[in-house]
Structure 1
Amino acid sequence: MNGKEGGFVVEISSSTKDELPKTSNKAAVFMYAILDFAKEDRNRVTFSLKVGLAVLLVSLLILVQAPYKVFGTTIIWSILTVAIMFEYTVGATFHKGFNRALGSLFAGVLAVAVAELALMGGPVAEPIIIGISIFVIGTLTSFMKLWPTLVPYEYGFRVILFTYCLIIVSGYRMGNPVRTSIERFYSIVIGAIVTVAVNTLIFPIWAGEQLHMELVKNFNSVADSLEAKWEPPHGRFRQAFYPWSEYVKVGTVLRYCAYEIMGLHGVLHSQIQAPYNLRVIFETEILEATNKAAELIRCLGKDIYDMKQTRKCSLLKNAHSSTEKLQRVIDARLFNKDYNTEEPEINYQSQRQSMSLVTFTSLLIEFVARLDHLVEAVNELSKMAKFKPQSL
């Protein structure tokens, strides 16, 4: 959950893709899929080209002899920085760059301090001190990145662990941790500068602009829904009266389902989290329920897009069966004292810590229950809009 082990993600596609051309040539199908994927959002192609350009620019510092004599092999850290730091939007790149810069600086200073301390201990104690420090840093960074309030800085903790281990170990063998830290740091700075410059100056992709356009799109969608009610029969809508009210009903039910998703998101990002051992125990049942629900929603979206009626009863039944199974497991393992006595890690005291998990599962079960209304609304729409029946 929320970046921790045992977590899960509910993925629901926002739109249904066009079917690929039917051909026995797998290479042609694959090429059509790539072209369709690129046409959906041309920024994807722009982003890919920008990453390639940024990697090429920092690679020239190694490929060209003159800068290679100045920077040496440490410039490889610039390439790693570009590959890791370059994100789709400018804002995400700045966020990741901040985490990497702060983590690298902290790890470098800490590595130098520990290396000097280990050097004072003599040749016998030096590797022992370094080994203990690596264990402590690995433990602390791995624990802190699981802390709910520090989840946004998880990448920074990974950088601290990665950079610290490389600097302290290489400095021990090379005998100059200060120089190693400085070389690593300016290499990272070069990679970060190239990343920010390319992503910001060359066809930048702004998350704020995307949010603005999505908001405008929502306004236009509302206006279109009002105007559609007065349109005569056209295209695939051959009936005399446009089923405007049914589309509004489906949208309303879907919006209430989205409210449940927002509730699940709030539980995942709350400060109070269920213990890791409980999340692992119920992981299979929760994943099954979310996958079945997502499959049903995708099927409903495809039915509306294709204007066809398919059999959704089996998918709805599977979704309900998965939540019923989840409810039985929750009741058996959290609220059954006889069961808890057999598993000491789940006792009465741990029930107080498991409220976050109970809340999450309750919202998930309620979300699946709302799918009944969504299926009913889509069925009514299919009748009013005269969707084509499923071909056997």
Structure 2
Amino acid sequence: MGSTVIDIPQGEGAVPCGKGKTKKFLDICCRQMVLILRETKSNRHGTRRVIHSIKVGIALVSVSLLFLLDPVYEQVGDNAMWAIMTVVLIFEFFAGATLSKGLNRGIGTILGGGLGCLAAALAQAVGGVGKAIIVGIAVFIFGAAATYSRQVPKIKRKFDYGAMIFILTFNMVVVSGLRAEQVFEIARDRLAAVAMGFGVCLFISLLVFPIWASDELHDSVVSRFQLLAISLEGFSKEYLGNVNENERKSGINFSSKCKSVLHTKTKDETLVNFARWEPWHGKFGFFYPWGKYLKIGEDLRDLATIILSLKPCLKSPIQPSESSSLGLGQAVKEPCEAIVASQARMLSELGESIKKMKKCESEDKISLKLKSMRQELSLVASPSTVGTHHSAKTEGLGFASFVYSMMEMIEKMEELAKQVEQLGQLGGFS
């Protein structure tokens, strides 16, 4: 089989292999930078990710100087690596998370190092075979006790990382004491390196474009009020408004917004835990009632569940069309639509109250509005109204379930308004 040889010209138009690869690499880098800049302009969270990445890079460069500066290196020696490990392990996205992990690491290192030094000194004093026995007993007792403490819910929630660092530090110090004579100096140098790393993280995290978990929690809860208000408006448009089938299909998909509210429990608990570690900043002072956000978040999830339950109540089990709903008469639709619209406005007002940290209407005024809604809903659900508009038994049951869900929603709104008012009192809303 023959082969064809093609001559590649080496004239002026040829691009050397090395330069071509370099140009291609630079083009890829430029495109990636353009994508990152576009993301940061259009996405607030994307901007914060870039800021966090830069801050971590600065922190790593700062602690790496411990190896480069001879006076510092002579003091801590190879233990300077612990400062770099500290930055990598504790520098988190939120300032509260960095502070929490840093303090946990410091406490765990001090306790683990101190007890490890005592156990190593005792083992050195005994000597012989007893030296290994004492170290083994100490490792077992303290390791088992610290591991058990990590399974206690309150300790696990706040000090799990500290307990893990305690186990690690204690074992490293006490075991190294078997072979090293200067165990106290080793523990001291490692503690100094950890303190340096923690100091760098603390300075950069709290003072250089800080990202607060409290702000994230505050904004997240406020956004859920708006999501549920939009969901109620979407439900009203889809099932209570006088729209045709095409307009109904193109209406707001309220179900997806309610479902996004349902999956917020873990996020709230994590952010509250971080927010409690954060110092005074901005509009949040010391001892701010972060626990109230957990209660408000729980009520919002309950309300989202009730809103989702309204949809199947208005679905007729005897009609084949999936998008068809029970035949609500105009006398029933109008008051129901007015009640839903009032609740949507109330949700927006409560969310705006938390957002601006200003007091909303008093609980008494809100209770009067909700009482009026209950009375109006009771008139809609009277036996005569149900009998007039729902001759079929299945339709009557569906409408009764709808009214019951509406009553539940009004009660949950009352509880939610109460929690928001208490948050305003405890948080010092103006």
- TM-score, normalised on structure 2? 0.47
Structure 2, gaps ≥5 residues long: 1-27, 238-242, 270-304, 326-430
What do residues 213-234 of structure 1 show as CA deviations (whole Å, max 9, x unaligned)?
2234334445656888999xxx
Determine the C-alpha separation between the residues in 1 that align with 2:61 and 2:323.
53
Match of 2:79 in 1: 74
Match of 2:135 in 1: 130
Q: How does 1:365-384 map to 2 (within 5 A)?
A: none
Q: How does 1:228-239 map to 2 (within 5 A)?
A: none
Q: How does 1:332-351 map to 2 (within 5 A)?
A: none
Q: Secondary structure at the match of 1:58?
A: helix
Match of 2:220 in 1: 214
**Structure of higher RCO (CA pairs closer than 8 Å, 6+ residues apart):** 1
For the pair shown, the structure with the greater C-alpha radius of gyration is: 2
Give the counterpart letter for 2:119 in structure 1: V
Match of 1:165 in 2: 171
Distance change in 2, residues 1:380/1:75 (3 Å): farther
**Counterpart check, 1:55 vs 2:71:** no
Match of 1:190 in 2: 196
Task: Tell me if the contact between 2:231 and 2:257 (Cα under 8 Å) persists in the aligned partners.
Answer: no
1:90 to 86, 89, 95: 95
Give the counterpart letter for 1:118 in structure 2: A
> Shift in Å at residue 106 of structure 1?
0.8
> Shift in Å at residue 190 of structure 1?
0.8
1:65 to 64, 67, 70: 70
Give the counterpart letter for 1:128 in structure 2: I
Match of 1:320 in 2: none
What do residues 225-284 of structure 1 show as CA deviations (whole Å, max 9, x unaligned)?
6888999xxxxx9987466987446655x389x39x859x99xxxxxxxxxxxxxxxxxx
> Shift in Å at residue 173 of structure 1?
1.8
Give the counterpart letter for 1:112 in structure 2: C
Determine the C-alpha separation between the residues in 2 that align with 1:105 and 1:81.
14
Determine the C-alpha separation between the residues in 1 that align with 2:203 and 2:323.
50
**Counterpart check, 1:42 vs 2:47:** yes
How much is the aligned-residue C-alpha RMSD, in angstroms? 4.6
Match of 2:124 in 1: 119
Task: Tell me if the contact between 2:234 and 2:253 (Cα under 8 Å) persists in the aligned partners.
Answer: no
Structure 1, gaps ≥5 residues long: 1-26, 232-236, 267-365, 384-392
1:102 to 100, 107, 113: 107
> Shift in Å at residue 65 of structure 1?
2.7
**Counterpart check, 1:139 vs 2:117:** no
What do residues 76-124 of structure 1 show as CA deviations (whole Å, max 9, x unaligned)?
1111111111111011111111211111111111112111211221233
Q: Secondary structure at the match of 1:203?
A: coil
Q: Secondary structure at the match of 1:218?
A: helix
Match of 1:340 in 2: none
Percent pairwise identity: 28
What do residues 37-78 of structure 1 show as CA deviations (whole Å, max 9, x unaligned)?
765522111111111111110011102333222321111111
Task: Tell me if the contact between 1:58 and 1:79 (Cα under 8 Å) persists in the aligned partners.
Answer: yes
Task: Tell me if the contact between 1:228 and 1:244 (Cα under 8 Å) persists in the aligned partners.
Answer: no
What do residues 276-315 of structure 1 show as CA deviations (whole Å, max 9, x unaligned)?
xxxxxxxxxxxxxxxxxxxxxxxxxxxxxxxxxxxxxxxx
Match of 2:208 in 1: 202
Distance change in 2, residues 1:158/1:248 (3 Å): same
**Counterpart check, 1:150 vs 2:155:** yes
Task: Tell me if the contact between 2:234 and 2:251 (Cα under 8 Å) persists in the aligned partners.
Answer: no
Task: Tell me if the contact between 2:228 and 2:257 (Cα under 8 Å) persists in the aligned partners.
Answer: no
Determine the C-alpha separation between the residues in 1 that align with 2:69 and 2:163.
34
> Shift in Å at residue 155 of structure 1?
1.0
Match of 1:305 in 2: none
Determine the C-alpha separation between the residues in 2 that align with 1:195 and 1:262.
29
Aligned length: 244
